[in-house]
A and B are shown apart, each in its own frame.
Chain A
Amino acid sequence: MYYWHWLRNIVRRPYTTGYPTNRDGVVVSMGNPDGIKEFSDEGLRGMSRRAVALRQVDSGSCNGCESELSLLSSPDYDLTRYGFSVAPSPKHADILVVTGVVTERMAPVVKAVYEQMTEPKRVVAIGVCAISGGVFREAPGVIGSLEGIVPVTIQIDGCPPTPGDILRGLLWAVDGKDPEAVQGVMA
């Protein structure tokens, strides 16, 4: 019953954006061009650029970042085209993705997940809450920053950051350089 739809989709222009390795004005306009910061290049060496498994941990988010992360697997972004996948267990993961402000009860969980991951491993902090605490910085029972808990490689700013920005930040974490810089070479 889906066959008719498959045929229609073959004729249609693909939904998937080429961003970040190709230009896409729509995705760029939604994002925050200066939102991604390389926090430390510690551990940026030695990452195999073949199939990178992600493990997401919610340390106190509002589920906005989760909503954007789940859209990464949508046909519009399709994170698997860069070799990314989501691993259910931290032991299979290469990149730890942390969303949300760090609460006192979730901090040991984030640390435990990081310790369970095998080397080489990286941490990507997604959203202003995970980076600096955002509006919840002053709240009781909130640590507010990943500093001292896990070493952050890349920070992706935004509330929540768009899937385009997340994809760019994840590629940055793997390659150690901004994937947008590749656009000129390829075009």
Chain B
Amino acid sequence: MSISLDLVWDLAAHYYENAGEWAQDITVYRKDAEIVMLAMLDHHLELAMLHRTRGQIERFVLNVQSEPIGLPSGFFVGEVLAAEERIRAEHSRLTWAHAPYPKKSVKGKGVFTYPLGPVRADVSEALLYQLQVMGDEIVRLDLVHQLKRRHVRPLCLGKPASDAVKIVERTTGTSTVAHALAYSMAVEQALGLEMDSGVAQCRMIVAELERVYSHLGDLAALAASTGMPIPQMEYLHHKEVLLRLNHHVFGHRYLRGVVIPGGIQAIQVPSAREWAGETIVTMRDDVERMQHDLERTTSFLDRLHGAGIIPQETLDFVRPVGPVGRASQRDCDVRRMRPYLAYADADFEVPSLEDGDAYARFVVKTKELIQSLSLLRRLLVSEDWMHAQARSLTDRELSKTPGVGLAVIEAPRGLLSYRVEVGSDLTIRHLDVSTPSERNWYVVPPAIANKNILQDFPIIDASFGLSVAGWDK
């Protein structure tokens, strides 16, 4: 059976000459849609949006003339702040209608700036937190990022499409599969390649394995931040068990090199299926018990309840994705909105909470963990995925000339999208990425500077579980 990889490729495009009309249509359409990506192409500024109920992607393309363009955040589209920042820096010939927001600071008697980072905590990524405190209360937080920018996008340009996957999957280590999958789907779409159901199932298995180990790591960090070594050790042990399973079945602990454009590159272990299934069942029971125990540990709950609530204005402006969004009333899961691979037939629930505090983020992650483990157990029953193979990119149906592919998927941390332009010599001509972390990081400063004290900071920081590598890519 051959299934179309990603529904019908319905990239309906609207073209604009006038920046005002472009902005107006975006703000209207945005009421029912999620912004997927803002990209600067040769002479066009393109904003892609995913309709929440129809699952359709629409593009709003503005022909950039010499006239000044309004900043997307200027007309309250805050999801693209990172892309906006990048485009402003990279395309100096564009003229912007408004200056970016002035840098704000709090001044006054008793207000101190507490710089934290880029070297901080036990093991952490490079990010500088400028905490402004008055007594114990955090009154403002500024994040200084781009310290570890590795320029993934420019590095991929001109590389063969099958080689660039090695670079994109190293954008974020704990989202290796998500990046490789979104990139591969975009390349396959650009080349008009279709994948069979075995490949789709195998890709779903690795994607869910990644979601599980990523969430286990986040929960371990959260347990550590509240001073709960027992659940921390339990979560870390399960993460290690899963990474060993990854290595045993797919040949790499972080599943690198498994998802490639054209299929799956995996070492097949015949005994793997039953053994992996048993491990998943035991893990599910243990994780459920740990959640049950933590829900009854008052010293843990006291630290989480009401900590780091995301203000409503920030939610409306930035519209966070992934578990962070789902913990604050935003029902946004690409696996449901626009099912890819075989998610349309998969049976799983998307947990959603309303509070938007650290506790809600903890609950959403634990519930997602259990859902993913149940999904994995059902996926492993089938044998199709064991025979998944890779197709060479050169044996594609030549009916379609190489073109543009846009893939949107649900990474462990939320909505991830890749837009890839492949040339006729199978090299990358243009690449655009929008990661969940680069969106969700803008939620962190207002959530932390929201009546929290300095002692809450590590807990709130851990409850978000975002990656700096995904922001400074």
Chain A residues whose CB sits within 8 angstroms of the CB of B166 once the complex forms: 135
Min CB distance A138 to B, Å, is 6
Chain B residue nearest to A140 (CB atoms) is: B151
- Distance of A100 Cα from B173 Cα, bound (Å): 11
Interface centre among A59, A71, A77, A142 (most CB of B within 10 A): A71
Question: In angstroms, how far is the closest chain A Cβ from the Cβ of B128?
Answer: 10
CA of A76 to CA of B126 in the docked complex: distance in angstroms? 27
Does A132 sit within 8 A of B, measured CB to CB?
no
Q: Which A69-126 residues have C-beta < 8 A from chain B? A: 69-71, 73-77, 86, 88, 90, 100-101, 103, 105-106, 109, 113
CB distance from A63 to the nearest CB of B (A): 5
Question: Closest Cβ of chain B: how far from A3's Cβ, in Å?
Answer: 11
Which residue of A62, A74, A105 has the most chain B CB atoms within 10 A of its CB atom? A62
Kindly supply a per-residue 1/0 record for chain B positions 445-471, scoring 1 wherever the CB is within 8 Å of any chain A CB and 0 otherwise: 000000000000000000000011100
Question: Which residues in chain B, 103-155, are within 8 Å of chain A measured between CB atoms?
Answer: 118-126, 146-152, 154-155
User: Is A139 touching B125 in the complex (CB atoms < 8 A)?
Assistant: no
Please classify how large the interface on chain A is, using the bins under 10, 10 to 19, 20 to 34, 35 or more. 35 or more
Of the listed stretches A36-44, A50-58, A170-178, chain B binds: A50-58
- Among candidates B149, B174, B237, residue contacting A63 with C-beta atoms closer than 8 Å: B174
**A71 engages B125 (CB within 8 Å):** no
Task: Specify which chain A residues have a CB less than 8 angstroms from the CB of B237 in the assembled complex.
Answer: 15, 74-76
Q: Which residues of A contact B384 (CB under 8 A)?
A: none
Determine whether the beta carbon of B124 is less than 8 Å from that of A141: no
- For A76, list chain B residues within 8 Å (CB): 236-237, 240
User: Which residues in B have their C-beta under 8 angstroms from that of A135?
Assistant: 155, 166-167, 170
Instruction: Knowing A61-B125, A61-B469, A62-B469 are in contact, say whether A103-B148 is a contact too (CB < 8 A).
Output: yes
CB distance A100 to B240 under 8 Å?
Answer: no
Question: In the complex, are the beta carbons of B217 and A136 less than 8 A apart?
Answer: no
> In the complex the two chains form, what is the Cα distance from A48 to B124 in whole Å?
26
Known contacts A30-B244, A63-B467, A74-B239; is A1 also within 8 Å of B150 by CB?
A: no
* Chain B residues with CB below 8 A from A162, complex form: 253
How far does the Cβ of A91 sit from chain B's closest Cβ, in whole Å? 11
Q: In the assembled complex, how far is the CB of residue A102 from the closest CB belonging to chain B, in whole angstroms?
A: 9
Residues of A within 8 A of B293 (CB): 1-2, 5
Tell me whether A60 and B121 are in contact in the complex, defined as CB-CB below 8 angstroms, given that A30-B244, A75-B237 are known contacts: no
Write out the residue numbers on chain A whose beta carbons fall within 8 Å of the beta carbon of B217: 67, 70
Cβ-defined contact, A74 with B172, below 8 A: no
Q: Do A62 and B123 touch (CB < 8 A)?
A: no
Rounded to whole angstroms, the CA-CA distance of A163 and B243 in the bound complex is: 11
Name the interface residues of B170-199: CB closer than 8 Å to any CB of A: 170-174, 176
Which 4 A-B residue pairs are closest in the complex by CB-CB distance? A64-B173, A74-B236, A60-B148, A62-B173
- B residues neighboring A (CB under 8 Å): 118-126, 146-152, 154-155, 166-167, 170-174, 176, 217, 220-221, 230, 233, 236-237, 239-240, 243-244, 247, 253-254, 256, 289, 293, 296-297, 467-469
